[in-house]
Structure 1
Amino acid sequence: MKSIAIFRALQLGDFLCAIPAIRSLRQAYPNARIAWIGLPGTQHLQHRFANYIDEFIPFPGYPGLPEQPIEPKKILAFLQDMQRRKFDLVIQMQGNGTYVNALVSLFDANKLAGFFKDSLFRPNNEHFVPYPEHLHEIERHLYLMHHLGIPDAGKQLEFPLLKDDRHICEKFHLTPGNFVCIHPGSRGESRRWNPKYFAQIANRCLEAGYDVAITGTKEEETIANELSAHMNRPPLFLVGQTDLDEIALLLKQARGLLSNCTGVAHIAYALQVPAVVVSMDGEPHRWGPLTPTRQQIIDCQRKPNVEKVLQHFNNTVLCNI
């Protein structure tokens, strides 16, 4: 096996949940050239995981996939490139295959593997498995590796740091261990807990003597401002001021994290940072932490569960010695 392509054109958290399977793949094929087909703008993750992934291939989008607009000429050029490269193995790790199994079958790889749903199309019966809805996201992809005869290299997440800024707290005027990070944003509005609920937990932190650092992207400034407006005193507002490494470094120095179920939560899982994560998608079993003693996920899809979140945050983060 000389050339392998992994198709997983999704966001940060989705990518991190696939790392245990990708790590297993790399250990099984240490000399293969492994390419990752991902969303444009996420190529920085290939550099972060260069020990597992050799190359990033930008995915142009496809009908039925919501992440990108459809540009037919780019899709055709992408398919021609895939066919020209003739990968030894392409692994469909995008999801249940409803939309993309037909797409990967056009790559003309020597071997295709992945998931399928019910009686829907799959390129072959030997290397495709039914999508295991009941499993955690990490375990779904390890299940596929097991089906392909690839030994499990562990379930633990990873987030390698590309910076080693020992003065990160000094930079933002924070005291190590005496602040909490609150990350109120998420890409989809339906996946966001109400900012006023975040503020209730933030005010509890202030009362307990901890500083509060609000993190997020520039696009999440409105949400963060709404949270701040409900706080008893202004937080340290870091929205749009940090890159992924700086957020990770801050998490390592923080008392803990409160966030929606988004990429930052998975960074906290990977770094073993105490965290309470709010799930608004009804799938806490799929996206939650695998070490629930230090990290908790709370299902808040049907009701806010503010008191439950506060209780778990107090027990997991504020009282975590």
Structure 2
Amino acid sequence: MFDGRGPGHECLARGSVIIGDAAAIGAGIGFATSRKPPVWLERFSAVASACRIYSASMNLSPHASLASEPVAAGPPLDWRRLRRIIVLRALYLGDMLCAVPALRAMRRAAPAARITLAGLPWACEFAARFRKYIDEFIEFPGFPGLSEQPCAADALSAFLTAVQQRKFDLAVQLHGSGITSNVAVALFGAARTTGYYAPGGYFPDPSMFLPYRAEGPEIRRNLLLVTATGAAPQGEHLELPLYREDWNRLEQLLAGTPARTEPYACLHAGAKWESRRWPAEKFAAVGQALAADGLHLVLTGSQSEEALVGRLSGLLGAPHTNLCGRTDLGTLGALVRRASLVVTNDTGMSHVAAATRTPSVVVVLGSDADRWRPLDVRRHRMVLAECPCRPSAAPRCPYGTPCADRVSPLTVYAAAQGLLAEMVNRRTAPRPPALPSRRSAGGRVCVG
């Protein structure tokens, strides 16, 4: 099966996947050979053959880079003629918000197209919120070699069969370097495909693919992909549409709390990986200093972070409101939009603050600060200590997170003080007008 550890054509042509007849290929990703091969395997065979022929013709070593084109370039892309576009980005909240400028450019370039997002199950809510850019959501069932979720063979077969039957004009691979995701997107069967490729990796159309560069902001990397194929950029700013029900739900949550009438700061101590979490004790120290300055404290987090946030709550010793596990995406966006300040780890909350233009201080531990930084450096401050192992992809730091030890609460508090002094008018900024209720929107389809 695909393991994602080597270039895409190597995964296919050098034994990570069985190359042969349809039944053998099906068995290689978990289908019983006694079952009838699904229709999409015809496409799989074609992709596998192309990868094998390309690898042989290039005489590539396992770590070679691409020196010439694997296939002839297709014609230039005419975005305005596109009618069916599918975008693969099966990732989490921060990653999805960083793709919004690219989605905005696609919509402007292809106003008549129906744009479908293939994403993780939670992103159905994201797609519904961004209905001006996304017309439809399809749940991506995972793919061998992609780590975001387990891949179920039956679900993958049904997904690929359904997607190929849609006959998309364009598939956009916005899911990383393409080592594995280019193979997945090639199986969508779209007339054209665009994305990034890793050195030595498979890609089907050299006129539509760009070499993946690890450096630079994620927002610009996503936007560059679509503008390089002819779509005009529509700004680099993030956004998070908020609707009337979001504000109504926030009013209910804050009823009877000081946050209903007083300025407040949001403290977000959670992150998906332990190696990205600044200690709760240090968050508490910053919170105590902000409370002494007159800010009420609001604690945020997902349901899976309730124990961590509960611990922070016990350490604070200052008035606060704990909303961990009680907000959906829209309510969280409204809460952050109305906040005076956000103090957060480098996680999705940082991008929510950027999307709502709320001043934030972001504590960076093992993540790639340049890649994930907010672009508005006046409104958002990153605090980090130099560490030779950054960026690290380790969920748990094998060295005991020295980068966390070197970031003091005093440094974070000083950054917050400076930011609040510059954004003094932010505390009394009026609530923005709510968008109409999402219930009034038509044409929304979420396919499980």
TM category (shorter chain) comes to over 0.9
Find the aligned partners of 2:120 and 2:330 in 1 and give their Cα distance.
20
* 1:181 counterpart (254, 258, 266): 266
Q: Rate the CA distance shift 1:174–1:282 in 2: closer, same or farther, 3 A.
A: closer
Structure 1 range deviating more: 114-123 or 248-257: 248-257
Q: Deviations over 1:224-249 (max 9, x none)?
A: 12212222235211112222222222
Find the aligned partners of 1:109 and 1:317 in 2 and give their Cα distance.
49
Find the aligned partners of 1:176 and 1:261 in 2 and give their Cα distance.
28
Contact residue 290 and residue 413 of structure 2 kept, 8 A? no
The alpha carbon displacement at 1:172 in A equals: 3.7
Q: Deviations over 1:96-122 (max 9, x none)?
A: 001111111111110010000111111
Contact residue 93 and residue 141 of structure 1 kept, 8 A? yes
Q: Quick one: which amino acid aligns to residue 368 of structure 2?
A: E
Q: Deviations over 1:48-67 (max 9, x none)?
A: 00111100010001111111
- Tell me the equivalent position of 2:411: 308
Q: Rate the CA distance shift 1:39–1:149 in 2: closer, same or farther, 3 A.
A: same
Structure 1 range deviating more: 163-172 or 240-249: 163-172
Q: Deviations over 1:64-94 (max 9, x none)?
A: 1111112111111111112111110000000
Contact residue 365 and residue 403 of structure 2 kept, 8 A? no
Structure 1 range deviating more: 32-41 or 188-197: 188-197
Find the aligned partners of 2:227 and 2:331 in 1 and give their Cα distance.
35
The alpha carbon displacement at 1:283 in A equals: 0.9
Number of residue pairs the alignment of both structures matches: 321
Question: What pairs up with 1:118-133 in 2 under 5 angstroms?
Answer: 118-133=199-214
* 1:34 counterpart (88, 102, 115): 115
Q: Deviations over 1:120-165 (max 9, x none)?
A: 1112211010113222111001111121011111001010002333
**Larger Rg, first or second structure (1 or 2):** 2
Q: Rate the CA distance shift 1:154–1:171 in 2: closer, same or farther, 3 A.
A: farther
Question: What pairs up with 1:141-156 in 2 under 5 angstroms?
Answer: 141-156=222-237
Find the aligned partners of 2:214 and 2:307 in 1 and give their Cα distance.
35
Find the aligned partners of 1:99 and 1:176 in 2 and give their Cα distance.
50
Contact residue 366 and residue 403 of structure 2 kept, 8 A? no
Please, what TM-score do these two structures have when normalized by structure 1? 0.95
Gaps of 5+ in 2: 1-81, 391-401, 425-448
Aligned pair 1:19/2:122, yes or no? no
Q: Quick one: percent identity of the two aligned structures?
A: 35
**SS of the residue 2:107 aligns to:** helix
Q: Which runs of 4+ in 1 moved over 6 A?
A: none
- Tell me the equivalent position of 1:275: 360
Find the aligned partners of 1:79 and 1:245 in 2 and give their Cα distance.
31
The alpha carbon displacement at 1:195 in A equals: 0.9
Find the aligned partners of 1:317 and 1:201 in 2 and give their Cα distance.
14
Contact residue 24 and residue 153 of structure 1 kept, 8 A? yes
Q: Quick one: which amino acid aligns to residue 299 of structure 1?
A: L
Aligned pair 1:95/2:176, yes or no? yes
Find the aligned partners of 2:357 and 2:84 in 1 and give their Cα distance.
33
Q: Deviations over 1:181-200 (max 9, x none)?
A: 10111122221111111111
* 1:45 counterpart (126, 129, 133): 126
- Tell me the equivalent position of 2:314: 229
Contact residue 184 and residue 192 of structure 1 kept, 8 A? yes
Find the aligned partners of 1:245 and 1:143 in 2 and give their Cα distance.
28
The alpha carbon displacement at 1:318 in A equals: 6.3
Q: Rate the CA distance shift 1:43–1:172 in 2: closer, same or farther, 3 A.
A: farther
**SS of the residue 2:123 aligns to:** coil
Superposed CA RMSD in Å reads 1.7
